[in-house]
Structure 1
Amino acid sequence: MLINEIDDYIEKMSKNLSFKTSNAFEVSKKFKLKRNTASHYLNLLVHSKRLLKISTRPVIFIGSEWFLNNGGNGELDGFQSLRDLHDFMKKNQKKAPFSEIIGHDASLYPILEQLRAAAMYPGKGLPTILTGETGSGKSYLAKKFYEYCEEKSLVSSDAPFISFNCAQYADNPELLTSSLFGYKKGAFTGAEEDHVGIFEQAQNGVLFLDEVQRLSAHGQEKLFTYLDDSVVYRVGEATHPRQLNVRLLFATTESLGSSFLKTFIRRIPVQIKVPSIYERTLSEKKELIWSFFMAESKIVNREFKIYPELIDELVKVRYKDNIGGMKSKIKKIVAMSIIHDNGDLLLKPEQSKKISFHKNQEELQIITPQTTLPDIISQKGSNDNALNRMISLITNSISAGGETMDFGELASNCYNAVNDFNDYLVFKHAQSDMPINYYSTEINRIIDFFRDDYNRKFVGKTC
């Protein structure tokens, strides 16, 4: 029927976010109808709750199926403007677990693609091992993997997520084995009753084995039966296999060629290296810093006023324990600020000589317990993203040079990058009231950054 074809067309336009073509005029052209006939069909679909109406000029229609699948509720009463629709969706839409991860669309994108593939593989998914330095975020990714499985209905909403650190039992391999697989009453001295192991506790859920390199060769071999046949044996039950459905994630800080049996590693098809904090982009480092300050603001239930120089300083720090080290340092900064609290928690850089004179409070970033990361990103605007793009291009130019580079040579190498940055500001952000000295200040800051972090020398004037 024609009305169903119109409904399908509006749903398709909604999925493509082509709202400007979802009106009576466009429908009349598409289906060769009179304008009032198209309006009649569209209003019938609104009355039957198959479409929603947005009272703009011209009136826009959106598909109710698309609306409900993207965070909408059952109240299909329509909206006064596209802005109202946008605000409603932003408020009510539940974020996908992986989209909440800082770097999901940049340095971590290929990693998350592999985790999606591992999760979506039929059956119990593919066993996966995460490698990376201490504090790089392996445990966090494991938890997000579980949430992704839950979102995609690969596990039930009440399915267990069990994180087990093998390092806690490194000096007692027998205890480690019995903890993982359980044991039968009388299997050894002290086994006074049957014991359910970690594997069985994780049935129909996700088991994350951290520091898995602490498993002995015998312990790794004990995993073969599950990796091959999805069964485990409790200690003392050699003839009683227990069939399980557990999704497996492993993590290690060591290389896969060091502490692991080759026969163990070849049974883990998805092997992912998690980047250190020094392999993350500049914008990701800043977002991580902001996210930790926001978390601290919630914990202490206080408002922070943060000098922008503090963020620059934290970006440059060489953190011993990666993201975990960054988090700890920010906790210490907040703790020290509380000690010297004089009403406002004013967070300054440690090197006071780098503090510029802030003539008004607007130059400080204010963090409250209610602040979200999108709030900060929107306040910073796209200029920072354009600046990060310029920094990335300049990095490539400088990294390709020798230990000493004349500033004129640098300017030549980076000319296009700076021009792109200027074009972005002029043509895409013409409404900005940015002061003219922004350019020289920021570019000089970039050069200081590379002088300190890349040990480069510059001859002559900067900007």
Structure 2
Amino acid sequence: MKRIDLVFETFKKLDKGSGLTTKEISSSLNMERSNISKDLNILVRNKLLYKNNSRPVKYFLTNYNNANIVFHSSMDKIAYLFPSLIPSIKLAKTAILYPPNGMNCLVIGDTGVGKSMLAYMMYEYARSLNTNKSMPFLHFNCSDYSSNPQLLSSHLFGVKKGTYTGANTDRAGLIEQADGGILFLDEIHNLPKEGQEMLFVYMDTGYFKRFGEVSHKIKSSTRIICATNKDINTSLLDTFIRRIPIKIYLPKLSERRLEERLTLIQSFLKEESEKLNIPILVSYNSMLCLLTYDCPYNIGQLKSDITLSVANAYSDFIINNKKQIKINSPDLPQNMKLEISKTLHKEKKLLDSLENYEGYFIYDKNTTIASHSFLKQKHMILKSFKEFITNINITIINKKIDADSLFDIFNNYLASIRDNELNYQFNLNNSAYETIYKKIITINDKFKLFFTDDILNDLFHIHIDMIYDRINNTDIDLIPCINKLTTLYSDYNLLTMKFKNIIEDTYNINLSNQEILFLFILVIYIYEHK
């Protein structure tokens, strides 16, 4: 066995998930640290190991920088934690991605639902796609100047010198300042008729004139995100509404799932604990109140009420020299305490699923904010798929291939799907999968036998349903792995390609190498597994 192979095998035996140093490997093998360091760095270059920048440097089997396989952006994280926002997030991404400069959009929702937050996340998403490009983000609240249409227009479009007393020089407006980036116009319903007309001319042409200008036009590639909490049909011009192709609705807190409200509550409690740098304990009844009370001003009010509750408990902690900050019912604002007498079966079932200590839920800086929704199932399956790809790649590249080892890895992935399939919610149209199924079982009898097994067919259906979720799931170079499989199992390569073409044609997608590797292993499994 080569030294580098011995180092890698030893690393896998010693690794507990928290990383290993050169010294630890060197001590285990009784070899020079310089040689071990050299081999470890070769393994890093080959993407079989990963390292951080700590002192001493630690090496890992999985990329600690890319451990989260779901959250490619802040919007992905929000969609994972709050599934009711998935349609909104999808539209928000569409507004950013559409060439050449995205599409103007209108965010609609009541006070406190998170319109400003979504606008900034859209900006972050756009910036992540153009890391080498300077991209400003300007936030302007139209209500600040709603009583002065001329001043409002001058802020948006700029002012030509001499237009009014005090306009001693030409002044750039927000649309000009935000060129190449995003201008977020909050409370757009306060923009007067004249301002709306000027704005939709800019949306149509990409050109605008400064306030007071007669002929000179200025070009800008600013993307406009508007927001309103009013009925757009009564507060905005029809001609203005027609210029905005994407309208994103954000649901009220009362329209969102109970599980999502719990995640919000936990997030705000963790934030307060981090500010105070002290754990916060919340009683069972207090959590019930937070889950059930009427919160007409939505997320903004929920956050404010939680902050007040923490502040009341903190005062008691300081004044009475308490050992811990504990939120009990008397610490809650009065409006929270009205629902507790109701029969709350669903709420209690949800709280009973959480860990508590002597009737209190504890939140501190180390608290993990997780999804309590069905998307947690998908997260676990995605994590398992990434482990499947990583382990298959390591096994094929670094070992003499043993079919049983491949099948063990494959079965672990199937087991993960099986463990998370209860109440799984499908994204894709079932008729498309039926098309795939009918084509696959005609390939030959081996395929028909495999896919007419209801359990295996159901597991594969879930796997296919998540095909878009796995895009950009891994950055491992899988070509050497696929090439080695092609050499060793050349008879199955044609079947794999036929399988690949069926899926690509049905879903109008170009399958990545990780998808092809999975299909290759599946074909081997269908033919070789006993």
Corresponding residue for residue 161 of structure 2: 185
Corresponding residue for residue 201 of structure 1: 177
SS class of match (2:185): strand
SS class of match (1:107): helix
2:117 corresponds, among 127, 131, 140, to: 140
Matched, 1:344 2:314: no
> If the length of structure 2 is used for normalisation, what is the TM-score?
0.54
Q: Which amino acid aligns with 1:145?
A: M
2:67 corresponds, among 90, 93, 96, to: 90
1:124 corresponds, among 89, 93, 101, to: 101
SS class of match (2:224): strand
How far apart are residue 281 of structure 1 and its match? 0.9
Give matches, 1:14-93, under 5 Å: 47=42, 51-53=46-48, 84-85=61-62, 89-90=66-67
Corresponding residue for residue 331 of structure 1: 307
Equivalent pairs counted in the alignment come to 318
Any stretches of 5+ residues in structure 1 without a counterpart?
A: 1-43, 55-66, 393-463
Quickly say closer, same or farther: Cα 1:366–1:48, change in 2 above 3 A.
closer
How far apart are residue 95 of structure 1 and its match? 4.8
Matched, 1:256 2:232: yes
Q: Which amino acid aligns with 1:244?
A: S
Give matches, 1:224-373, under 5 Å: 224-341=200-317, 342-350=322-330, 361=357, 363-373=359-369
Alignment partners' CA distance in 1, 2:236 and 2:128: 33
Alignment partners' CA distance in 1, 2:237 and 2:135: 31
SS class of match (1:101): helix
Alignment partners' CA distance in 1, 2:312 and 2:43: 61
SS class of match (1:288): helix
SS class of match (2:233): coil
Quickly say closer, same or farther: Cα 1:285–1:296, change in 2 above 3 A.
same
Farther off after superposition, 299-308 or 197-206 = 299-308
1:163 corresponds, among 139, 146, 158, to: 139
Alignment partners' CA distance in 2, 1:219 and 1:104: 38
Alignment partners' CA distance in 2, 1:48 and 1:143: 39
Alignment partners' CA distance in 2, 1:78 and 1:186: 65
Aligned 8 A contact 1:103 1:284 in 2: no
How far apart are residue 369 of structure 1 and its match? 3.0
Q: Which amino acid aligns with 2:221?
A: N
Corresponding residue for residue 128 of structure 2: 151
Give matches, 1:398-409, under 5 Å: none
Alignment partners' CA distance in 2, 1:146 and 1:287: 24
How far apart are residue 370 of structure 1 and its match? 4.0
Quickly say closer, same or farther: Cα 1:315–1:103, change in 2 above 3 A.
farther
Aligned 8 A contact 1:305 1:346 in 2: yes
Aligned 8 A contact 1:102 1:288 in 2: no
Quickly say closer, same or farther: Cα 1:85–1:177, change in 2 above 3 A.
same
1:218 corresponds, among 174, 177, 194, to: 194
How far apart are residue 192 of structure 1 and its match? 2.4
Q: Could you list the per-position Cα deviations for residues 313-352 of structure 1 after superposition, in whole angstroms to 9, with x for gaps in the alignment?
A: 1111111211011011011101111111123110123459
Alignment partners' CA distance in 2, 1:284 and 1:93: 18
Aligned 8 A contact 2:104 2:225 in 1: yes
Farther off after superposition, 287-296 or 184-193 = 184-193
Alignment partners' CA distance in 1, 2:77 and 2:169: 44
Alignment partners' CA distance in 2, 1:94 and 1:319: 29
Q: Which amino acid aligns with 1:186?
A: G
Alignment partners' CA distance in 1, 2:80 and 2:270: 18
Alignment partners' CA distance in 2, 1:173 and 1:284: 40
Alignment partners' CA distance in 2, 1:227 and 1:294: 42
Quickly say closer, same or farther: Cα 1:338–1:105, change in 2 above 3 A.
closer
Alignment partners' CA distance in 1, 2:312 and 2:118: 30
SS class of match (1:296): helix
Alignment partners' CA distance in 2, 1:211 and 1:200: 20
Alignment partners' CA distance in 2, 1:362 and 1:95: 38
Alignment partners' CA distance in 1, 2:290 and 2:170: 52
Alignment partners' CA distance in 1, 2:218 and 2:241: 23
Q: Which amino acid aligns with 1:349?
A: S
Quickly say closer, same or farther: Cα 1:251–1:91, change in 2 above 3 A.
closer
SS class of match (1:369): coil
Aligned 8 A contact 2:260 2:372 in 1: no
CA RMSD of aligned residues (A): 3.7
Aligned 8 A contact 2:79 2:89 in 1: no
How far apart are residue 185 of structure 1 and its match? 1.6
Q: Could you list the per-position Cα deviations for residues 261-299 of structure 1 after superposition, in whole angstroms to 9, with x for gaps in the alignment?
A: 111110100011110001111111000011111111122
Aligned 8 A contact 1:52 1:78 in 2: no
Alignment partners' CA distance in 1, 2:298 and 2:157: 33
Farther off after superposition, 188-197 or 258-267 = 188-197
How far apart are residue 99 of structure 1 and its match? 2.0
Alignment partners' CA distance in 2, 1:308 and 1:173: 52
